[in-house]
């Protein structure tokens, strides 16, 4: 059974007036849109390296999105089998 999908991802990074870097990643599957969010704030004692804040905020936004996708997949599996997997690794799809 062959299956191909194309999902679109939009990524937004910005810094607010308080110096917090915020990231928003939007996944559009064509039928569903999910938004992951992340933030990073430089410790005043640390050297300000904007690239590190971008990386942390972006990584946290993608992690948030990944958790949302895994929860959706777990719910879908539960809907098909009637039971919830005990851990995300037991869903049945190898990573």
Cα 9 to its chain centre, rounded Å, is 11
* pLDDT score, position 72: 93
**Domain annotation for the chain: domains and CATH numbers:** 8-78 (3.30.160.240)
Mean pLDDT of the chain: 88
Sheet holding 20-28, edge to edge: 8-15, 20-28, 33-41
**55-67 mean pLDDT:** 98
Residues near 71 by Cβ (< 8 Å), separated by ≥ 6?
Answer: none
pLDDT band (50, 70, 90) for residue 95:
very low
* pLDDT score, position 2: 92
Tokens 């990073």 map to which residue? Answer: 40
């Amino acid at each position: 059974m062959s299956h191909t999908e194309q999902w679109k991802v939009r990524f937004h990074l910005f810094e607010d007036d308080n110096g917090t870097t915020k990231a928003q990643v939007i996944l559009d599957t064509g039928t569903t849109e999910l938004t992951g969010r992340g933030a990073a704030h430089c410790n005043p004692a640390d050297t300000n390296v904007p690239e590190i804040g971008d990386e942390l905020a972006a990584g946290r936004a993608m992690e948030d999105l990944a958790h949302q996708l895994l929860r959706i997949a777990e719910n879908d599996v539960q809907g098909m089998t009637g039971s919830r997997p005990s851990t995300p690794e037991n869903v049945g799809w190898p990573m």
